[in-house]
Structure 1
């Protein structure tokens, strides 16, 4: 199944290159990581405790919804849009669709969390029935993986699209396009199934 394509990818349906996955890009990410870690840890009740949780457990509880917000999207929705549940291919899809906006995946609840500005608030398109995509609100704690936990093998909760730079989050408008594309693909899949069953 071909992945669903957000409109900002262009008329050809092919995304513009976003990341240089070469050695230079890897080195730049490593250089930016301490600042990115510190920025995220400012959302912890206690920075030292959260840092220790990252080091020992790979996940730390952060206060979500003030400095940084999160929108949870069901794995079913994302996998339908990506046309796969393969972690590497889903990561590539989300990286393109969100223009590099950071995303992590909780495997235990099959939910992707896209990091956005805390001021994003509740948008109507994220409150539709079915709980397939929603803003987490302003008074929630969320288990956020350490920045070096980037594969399923590295942790039960891992970054699908890495958090690379302090303060660089997903655009609310680009996120809306992704959610719309996900929901369209699910509707198309259901419709196709009904036609086959008729």
Structure 2
């Protein structure tokens, strides 16, 4: 356990709450840092009203859109589910993931350069409904404290940002995609449906 977190636990629940609020504030500041002042105000209002703000990709981070069927083929379960969230947390080494239960997809947040540096892989992925999203694309990003599905927010953090600028490693995401394709292929070979 991180020494700062352990010290907060030792000092009591109020100190732990303060630490969590400070962490969420730092994450929110980082997520909003690529925006102009007026866009920042708009995003904060969207978070307050809807729990979700539309943020540009390709500056601080990009995203890999994963169909729910691919993720569920590897981990089983349903969407959304605690099991799927825990699986993604482990499979992506704690890298941040957004779940869109209504659209039945996940977004793994990756370095902003990934669409350019992994261009060939991204082209291949697109044929399988996986898309690497970068510049000129906007993503609905949940408020940092929305970490479970609810009736208000359209999306939630399946795996919350551990800290500002801590993203999924591209190779780890690629391995998850490959495992998902293998699992979907095995299910199709066995005559089983691809899932939801």
Counterpart check, 1:76 vs 2:73: no
Cα offsets for 1:3-35 (capped at 9, x unmatched) = xxxxxxxxxxxxxx9xxxx984x9354432111
TM-score using structure 1 length: 0.80
User: Any gaps of 5 or more consecutive residues in structure 2?
Assistant: none
Name the Cα RMSD after superposition. Answer: 2.3
Structure 1 equivalent of residue 129 of structure 2: 132
Is 2:103 the counterpart of 1:109? Answer: yes
Query: For residues 54 and 153 of structure 2, what CA distance do their matches in structure 1 show?
Result: 15
Shift of 1:130: 3.4
Task: Give the TM-score normalised by the residue count of structure 2.
Answer: 0.80
Runs of 4+ in 1 over 3 A off after TM superposition: 26-31
Aligned with residue 31 of structure 1, among 8, 13, 22: 22
Post-superposition CA distance 1:45-86 (Å, at most 9, x none): 511110111011100010012221111000111111111115
Question: 1:131 offset after TM fit, Å?
Answer: 4.2
Conserved 8 A contact 1:106-1:158: yes
Contact 1:152 1:158 in 2 (8 A): yes
Contact 1:69 1:135 in 2 (8 A): yes
Partner of 1:169: 167
Number of the residue aligned with 1:4: none
Q: 1:95 aligns with which of 83, 89, 96?
A: 89
**Count, aligned residues:** 174
Residue 49 of structure 2 is matched in structure 1 by 56
Please state how far the C-alpha of 1:44 moved relative to its aligned partner.
Answer: 3.5
Deviation at 1:110, TM superposition (A): 1.1
Whether contact under 8 Å (2:56, 2:137) holds in the other structure is yes
Which protein is richer in helix relative to its size? 2
